Every structure is written in structure tokens, then in C-alpha cells.
């Protein structure tokens, strides 16, 4: 169980770091504006939503495993 929790915690950390990078790049693209913004803003938002969904799923699995382990 500890190996699984360590793995999931690592996946969650990597997912959240990736989310932070995508969010920062999205803000820079938004501030930059112009054609580059038109090309990349929607793609980055879609990618961010997907990574957020992954983070929520991983977090839910962590909570579920902790709940099961406490029984």
C-alpha cells in the first residue's frame, strides 16, 4: 500500500507541477496577445482542463485508498 501511495503522490505532484506550467504559459500567451494568442490559447485551455481532470482523479483515488486503509 505504501508503494502505491508513494507512486500516486508522485503522479499528483507531477500533475500539479505540469498544471502550474501550463497555467503560466497560458497567462504569458494571453498577455502577449495577437496571432500567437489566437493560435494557442484554446489549445492550452483544453490541455489545462485535461490535466486538472487527471489531478482530480488521482486525488480521489488517493482519498479512496486512504479511506479503505483506515478500516
Q: Quick one: which H or E segment has residue 62? A: helix 34-70
Indicate the average pLDDT of the chain.
94
Indicate whether 71 pLDDT > 90: no
The tens digit of pLDDT for each residue in 14-53 reads 999 999 999 999 999 999 888 988 998 999 999 999 999 9
* Interhelix angle 2-32/34-70, nearest 10 degrees: 160
pTM of model > 0.75: yes
Provide the 10 A C-beta neighbour count for residue 33: 10
Amino acid at each position: 500500500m505504501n508503494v502505491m501511495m508513494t507512486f500516486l503522490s508522485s503522479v499528483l505532484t507531477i500533475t500539479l507541477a505540469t498544471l502550474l506550467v501550463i497555467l503560466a504559459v497560458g497567462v504569458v500567451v494571453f498577455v502577449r496577445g495577437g496571432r500567437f494568442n489566437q493560435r494557442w490559447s484554446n489549445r492550452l485551455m483544453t490541455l489545462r482542463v485535461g490535466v486538472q481532470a487527471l489531478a482530480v482523479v488521482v486525488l480521489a483515488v488517493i482519498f479512496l485508498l486512504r479511506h479503505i486503509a483506515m478500516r
